[in-house]
Amino acid sequence: MALIQNALIIGGGVGGMCAAIQLRKQGVDVTLVERNPDWAPDGAGITISGPTLRALREVGVLDEVLRLGGHWNAVDVCGPDGSVKVTVPILPALGAEDLPGAGGIMRPVLADILGHATQAAGATVRLGLTFESMLQDEGGVDVAFTDGSSGRYDLVIGADGVHSAVRKLVLPDFPGPKFSGQGSWRAVVPRLRENSTIYMGRTTKAGVNPISATQCYLFVLDKREGMDFIDSALWPEKLAELLEEFGGQVGDIRDALRAGSMPDAKVLYRPLAGHMINGPWHRGRIVLLGDTVHATTPHLASGAGIAIEGALVLAEELGRRHYLEGALLAYAGRHYDRARLVVTASGRMGQIEQAGGSLEEHTAVMRDAQEKLRAPL
């Protein structure tokens, strides 16, 4: 008999949706509740590393992701004027040598692909609500929802992101994510190059990654004193200021942001916060997934990747163990090292950037982590 008959997933982000799809493949009756009635994340671009492409193939959505997104096999490293200094090939993940080195896609497009796959897999999706209370005993978890309905589940998966409400039930003493000292800026720009491209300025590093046949997203990180509020009306000008020292393609983007001639740029700013929580990641029949337990800065572009990998590992362990406690311990035990590698290496890269530290060390930390992440799960 299967270890669990039914499961409730709180949070319909990448982690929650992939968990729903993988559990449905085992015949588990899945309900997914998502607080956002539109089920739509911010309109920014996201990079999908080689290992993440491999994980998405296992989920079953890779063809759509490659069809609607962009991909590349090398990174051009350029000077501030846009001239290419060196081109670095990206090796695909092991066991996925037929796939591109990396890909990119608009977040809402990825969410749409996974959302359709979640529903096609037969999960019940309930939007615009969350849980009000949860009470567990040996046999299940009784959940009351904010719309007055209720249900009883063999397992509850908290996949409700970095500011998780489910986490308060599992780890009540956790103080919350910590500000990393950097802010992230994003904009959607025309695709002018084949490869992913990084522009090394004296004080700022900017990059563009393809997200479709015609578009890239621009990313810049800046050093900040705190998680200060910045009025969104100011974001295009603030981003333009950060691009001051660049010529070439990035200089053109800066000028267009200033002139207001890129109305679809969808400029986004986010202060970066994160954490790496020690396992185990469950209490009884309630378990945490994705950013709830390992929220990273974007330096390795792998936060969504480890949320998806966590969903694969969790479903796999639930599918092959005989005891729930053993499955949930094995999930955290197997997934912890990869998640920690992403969070700590990304954090170190951010520290080096803030201190104006060694480019060699920055590159070494990134290469070492990328090489380790190519290994199979």
Ligand X SMILES: Cc1cc2nc3c(=O)[nH]c(=O)nc-3n(C[C@H](O)[C@H](O)[C@H](O)COP(=O)(O)OP(=O)(O)OC[C@H]3O[C@@H](n4cnc5c(N)ncnc54)[C@H](O)[C@@H]3O)c2cc1C
- Which chain residues interact with ligand X by CB under 6 A? 10-16, 33-36, 46-47, 52, 130, 159-161, 165, 184, 270, 272, 290-291, 298, 301-305, 307
Residue 76: CB minimum distance to ligand X, A: 18
Residue 68: CB minimum distance to ligand X, A: 16
Residue 1: CB minimum distance to ligand X, A: 29
DSSP 291: G
Of all residues in the shown chain, the one whose CB is closest to ligand X is: 13
Residue 103 and residue 68 in contact, taking contact as beta carbons nearer than 8 Å: no
DSSP 262: -
Name the helix (H) or strand (E) containing 155: strand 155-158
Nearest to 270 by CA among 12, 15, 41: 41
Residue 3: CB minimum distance to ligand X, A: 23
Give me the phi and psi of 32, to 5 degrees please: -120, 125
Residue 107: CB minimum distance to ligand X, A: 8
Q: Which is nearer to ligand X, 3 or 301 (CB)?
A: 301
Q: Which is nearer to ligand X, 196 or 302 (CB)?
A: 302
Give how far Cα 7 sits from Cα of 21, 98, 136, Å.
12, 35, 13
Q: Which is nearer to ligand X, 81 or 276 (CB)?
A: 276
Q: Which residues contact 351 (CB under 8 A, 6 or more apart)?
A: 181, 357
Pairing relationship of beta strands 45-49 and 102-106 according to DSSP bridges: antiparallel
Q: Which is nearer to ligand X, 76 or 291 (CB)?
A: 291
Residue 35: CB minimum distance to ligand X, A: 4
**Rounded Cα–Cα distance for residues 129 and 146 (Å):** 6
Q: Which is nearer to ligand X, 158 or 280 (CB)?
A: 158
Q: Which is nearer to ligand X, 4 or 18 (CB)?
A: 18
